[in-house]
Structure 1
Amino acid sequence: MSALLNFIKKDKLNWLCLLAGLSLVFAYAPYSLWWLAFIAPLALIHAIKTAQTPKQAAKSGLYFAFGWFASGISWVHVSIDQFGGLPLFFSILLMVLLCLYLAIYPALASYLTKRLSKTSTVTLWLLPSLWLFTEFLRSIVLTGFPWLSLGYSQINSPLASYAPVIGEVGITFVILSFNVALYQLIYFLRLKQTQHHKNDLIQATGVIALITSLTIAVNYPTWVKETGEELTVALIQGNIEQSIKWQPEEEWPTMLKYLDLTRVNYDADLIIWPESAVPALEPAVQEFLSTVNQSALLNKSTIITGILNYNFESKQYFNALITLGKKHSDDDLGYFYNHSNRYYKNHLLPIGEFVPFQEWLRPIAPLFNLPQSSFSRGNYVQPNLIANDLAILPLICFEIAFPSQLAANLTQETNIILTVSNDAWFGDSHGPHQHLDMARMRALEFGKPLLRSTNNGITATIDHLGNISGIIPQFEEAVLKANIKLVSGNTPYSQWPRLILWLMILIPLVLIMLFQHYFTAPKKAA
């Protein structure tokens, strides 16, 4: 016991980093204490500042990030525990390994911040850009898992006004820059006020003043405008339990439930069923789909539903969205099998939708053999769905976390963003609430109304400012009927998301490195 206490005492700063990381979960939905994001990283910043070596800084980053992810994505354990078929010990071990993997990226940012610094004055100012760089890596390596980025915590804060200009990644940069400035301000007040520390004070107050001024300024431009046009939508939340969703005897009861809830809402221009609402392969339910298609045509409406398709020629499975009913106002044919007015999911979820190294992993446990875990990818860029003359940009579940994919599929004709999901895998956890806030951030970044249709919640309609205009709580069978206001115009971020990201990474790094070189280079004698 004494050895453990000595270890904790010796490593107390890293344990403080761990606790600070654990606390960050409360900055996100459903707690939404957004101001915590301006306090919690201070522990890590202090650890980087006082670290003797880059390795020590990396270790502190690992502690901080492990706590951040352990609490923030603990909802993943719900699906592993309830549907993975693993003993509790191994399910917890898998979660620990996942959190350790994700923690590598902030640890790398901490290491590089210390490693690239040559003067104490600018050490910490490297962190925001290097953090964005490692977050970019986290979003692409092994297909990417960019969940819980710091910027998402600010959807309800004054910093949300930055989203249409520099996106969620830019908000992350602003948060970390503010943290560095606040730390330097505190550091100055605690130490003897030498000229060196006065320079830190000038930098800190300048950055805080700049952030405050820009936060006010970015509230004024109006990037998109309402056109005056409206459409009526009906989002169907069937609330089908995940444990019975794929049982053969539940196939027809499920489909008939969605059809019954739809029949009384045919006055809507657009009706949305969630991800895999039809729990069968598309070729096997042609009779049902034809019936629904004819019903929608007769009522001059369009239904978009999630379904799984199997291509017999290529022998591939796809997680799909298809349209039933009117494509255009003069359409009298609507749906037919393999028509082009469909979307195939591109960004597949590891384990859930495809299994990397499946030859080794599938025999280990049921977790690696979940139903529908052998999907093929759709194209990265696909045409918008056309429904009742509307152009709809679709994303399925996890894809809402990737703004560059959304931007690649955005056109001048796009009217609405649609995301469908089945968050029943995660039970009554904070995961679905975080997922909803990510959708809100995308709506604000891209200046488009967004529809979010889910199996068991949280179904919502979101306006182009990221505000929730209608919602169905979790675990309720219900229909969300709403009028959606259409808009015109584009936000800066929607046009250049990757360019904005790389400018925020490269410009500060180059300026800081030049600044370091100027102040550390040997001065020539006069």
Structure 2
Amino acid sequence: MTPKIKAAKRLLPTCLLSFLLGAGLTFSYAPFSVWFIAPLLLAGFFWLLNNKGRSHAFLSGWSFGLGWFGAGISWVHVSIADFGGLPLVGSIGLMLLLSAYLALYPALASWLLVRFITPSYWPLGIGFIWLFCEWLRSWMLTGFPWLSLGYSQLHGPLGGYLPILGETGVSVLLVTLACSLGLLVPKRHFKSAFMITAVLLISGYLLGKQQWTEDKGQSVKLVMVQGNIQQSLRWVPEQDLPTMNLYRQLTDSHWDADLIIWPEAAIPKLEPLALRYLQELDETAASHQTAVVTGIVNYNFETRDAFNNLIVLGSQNGEAQGHYRYPHANRYAKHHLLPIGEFIPFEDWLRGIAPLFDLPMSSFSRGDFQQRNLQANGLHLAPAICFEIAFPNQIRANLHDHTDYILTVSNDAWFGHSHGPHQHLEIAQVRAKEFGIPVLRATNNGITAVIDADGRVLDQLPQFEQGVLVSRVPRYQGQTPYAKFGDLWAWLLAAMGLGLAVWLPKRNTTQQSSATQVN
């Protein structure tokens, strides 16, 4: 047996165990939400990396990431298989390719940790390294920050840090805790491990009792309509009018609401071709002194630019007069576009290879990063369309002193009966807790929900059912530390830890050298 084969046989168990530890993280996210699994599995990985994987840190980290994302975003396969026009082998292959790409980031973090940080000081250095690699993941190719570790702690004690450090900072605390456990417990340093765990969890629990924003004592009667339109019918021209009539019929008995919300692209007809319908809806809503916010695609036939939009119809400030005139300014254009679904990377190469790369409405133009709040019946709404809710910095940039609610709309019919929509809802819950402001989430087929300022679901509709959610939603005032400072404190804490991880070994070496010279 050659040395290379022997080395591969020794490495295989480490990679396999890393893969399984990563895959287990799926159970720490929704719909399972077993928060304490994450620190335990991460601790196991850091122990394995220190004892078995240091010589192949990148491959060990990549194996962990492949399990983490392969199991966690397996729902991507559903959309590719059902709507992408690829055979089963192709859909699974593309899902694994995406997972393999995302796994590069924990692989890079593992390599940097082993390469530059002395093992005894890993817990101090891992926070900055992990934060840097996760920032890269949220930025490269427009970013895909799904399944960031902090989301797993929404229902755990570390969730108390969300209004202060945000999900980003909670991820730093989580990897710091896990790395400490992974190094201290095997060495039987139980007292130190217990103290670190107790301090972080107890302080997080106590912070979770703090109310950072307060209820104004005012509430809004909200209506959200869930049409439950099959994805296969979304862009069939013959289904445009039936879909539009359905949403109108479901709304007609709820004109007494303060605010009515329809989900992403609820109106399937292009906006310039639906003007009569929109003007009638605008007049009806205004005559009842309410407003309708709906998703629609705006297409400019001259420039050929398409925008995934939210528009407001009806009253802006309680007046019995509509303001809709195409293309009025009370609208929002999606900024973060979904690769493949809304824009095609390397379009000239990929178009025509498979139906997946030629889906309807897959060439959108990008809206601005920062846009005005939607103004609907005296309310100010900070919008996010679909997976934009996973970008806290974008949400923060669009929150103002007068913002009443975060509004997110989506069409999760792409993901069928998978755990994808549950993870999507969990992300929205974290945004609410970070910013101390309710999140209104309207979807085509679920999970339509109202989330309070503490991240709890107040009301929701069942998935895969046609329905109307009626709820009273409180209005809040105030600002969380995270809303004010964003990721600043997370980066500062992580940078301090990295500084200590680099400085302390050098200081110890200098002291030992001095002691040797004295002796």
In the superposition, the TM-score normalised over structure 1's length comes to 0.94
1:90 alignment partner in structure 2? 90
Q: Which amino acid letter does the alignment assign opposite residue 436 of structure 2?
A: G
Query: Are the equivalent residues in 1 in contact too, given 2:157–2:202 (CA < 8 A)?
Result: no
2:169 alignment partner in structure 1? 170
1:373 alignment partner in structure 2? 362
C-alpha distance in structure 1 between counterparts of 2:505 and 2:357, whole Å:
50
1:24 alignment partner in structure 2? 25
Q: In 2 relative to 1, CA 499–124 (structure 1 residues): closer, same or farther, beyond 3 Å?
A: closer
C-alpha distance in structure 1 between counterparts of 2:490 and 2:158, whole Å:
17
2:334 alignment partner in structure 1? 345
1:196 alignment partner in structure 2? none
1:480 alignment partner in structure 2? 469
C-alpha distance in structure 2 between counterparts of 1:61 and 1:523, whole Å:
35
Per-residue CA deviations over 1:172-206 (Å, capped at 9, x if unaligned) read 122212212222332122xxxxxxxxxx6665344
Query: Are the equivalent residues in 1 in contact too, given 2:53–2:60 (CA < 8 A)?
Result: no
Displacement of 1:9 in angstroms is 5.9
The answer as to 2:182 corresponding to 1:183 is yes
The answer as to 2:218 corresponding to 1:214 is no
The answer as to 2:90 corresponding to 1:100 is no
C-alpha distance in structure 2 between counterparts of 1:67 and 1:349, whole Å:
23
Per-residue CA deviations over 1:416-453 (Å, capped at 9, x if unaligned) read 00000000000010000000000000000000011000
C-alpha distance in structure 2 between counterparts of 1:123 and 1:171, whole Å:
17
C-alpha distance in structure 2 between counterparts of 1:5 and 1:285, whole Å:
67
Displacement of 1:484 in angstroms is 0.4
Per-residue CA deviations over 1:443-492 (Å, capped at 9, x if unaligned) read 00000011000000000000000000000011000000000000000001
C-alpha distance in structure 2 between counterparts of 1:498 and 1:437, whole Å:
20
Query: Are the equivalent residues in 2 in contact too, given 1:132–1:173 (CA < 8 A)?
Result: yes
C-alpha distance in structure 1 between counterparts of 2:384 and 2:439, whole Å:
11
C-alpha distance in structure 2 between counterparts of 1:337 and 1:68, whole Å:
46
Query: Are the equivalent residues in 2 in contact too, given 1:318–1:344 (CA < 8 A)?
Result: yes
C-alpha distance in structure 2 between counterparts of 1:130 and 1:359, whole Å:
36
SS at match of 2:297: strand
Q: Which amino acid letter does the alignment assign opposite residue 11 of structure 1?
A: L
The share of aligned pairs that are identical, in percent, is: 46
Per-residue CA deviations over 1:15-49 (Å, capped at 9, x if unaligned) read 11111111111111111111110211123201221
The answer as to 2:494 corresponding to 1:494 is no
SS at match of 2:218: strand
The answer as to 2:394 corresponding to 1:395 is no
C-alpha distance in structure 1 between counterparts of 2:202 and 2:454, whole Å:
21
Structure 1 vs Structure 2 CA RMSD: 1.8
Query: Are the equivalent residues in 2 in contact too, given 1:184–1:201 (CA < 8 A)?
Result: no
Per-residue CA deviations over 1:108-157 (Å, capped at 9, x if unaligned) read 11101111123x32134322321111011100011000000111112122
1:38 alignment partner in structure 2? 39
2:452 alignment partner in structure 1? 463
C-alpha distance in structure 2 between counterparts of 1:283 and 1:93, whole Å:
39
Displacement of 1:207 in angstroms is 2.1
C-alpha distance in structure 2 between counterparts of 1:368 and 1:23, whole Å:
32
C-alpha distance in structure 2 between counterparts of 1:209 and 1:184, whole Å:
17
Q: Which of 243, 248, 254 in structure 2 is aligned with 1:259?
A: 248
C-alpha distance in structure 2 between counterparts of 1:341 and 1:30, whole Å:
36
C-alpha distance in structure 2 between counterparts of 1:405 and 1:381, whole Å:
7
1:523 alignment partner in structure 2? 513
In the superposition, the TM-score normalised over structure 2's length comes to 0.95
Per-residue CA deviations over 1:342-400 (Å, capped at 9, x if unaligned) read 00000000000000100001121111111000000001100000001111001000100
C-alpha distance in structure 1 between counterparts of 2:399 and 2:483, whole Å:
8
Q: Which amino acid letter does the alignment assign opposite residue 108 of structure 1?
A: L
Query: Are the equivalent residues in 1 in contact too, given 2:172–2:494 (CA < 8 A)?
Result: no
Displacement of 1:7 in angstroms is 5.6
Q: In 2 relative to 1, CA 220–26 (structure 1 residues): closer, same or farther, beyond 3 Å?
A: closer
- Mean Cα displacement is larger for which, 26-35 or 278-287? 26-35
1:419 alignment partner in structure 2? 408
1:422-441 paired onto structure 2 within 5 Å? 422-441=411-430
C-alpha distance in structure 2 between counterparts of 1:94 and 1:180, whole Å:
32
C-alpha distance in structure 2 between counterparts of 1:478 and 1:347, whole Å:
29
- Mean Cα displacement is larger for which, 379-388 or 220-229? 220-229
1:304 alignment partner in structure 2? 293
C-alpha distance in structure 2 between counterparts of 1:52 and 1:422, whole Å:
42
2:239 alignment partner in structure 1? 250
1:139-154 paired onto structure 2 within 5 Å? 139-154=138-153
Q: May I ask how many residue pairs the two structures share in their alignment?
A: 512
Displacement of 1:52 in angstroms is 6.5
Query: Are the equivalent residues in 2 in contact too, given 1:102–1:138 (CA < 8 A)?
Result: yes
The answer as to 2:268 corresponding to 1:269 is no
- Mean Cα displacement is larger for which, 94-103 or 317-326? 94-103
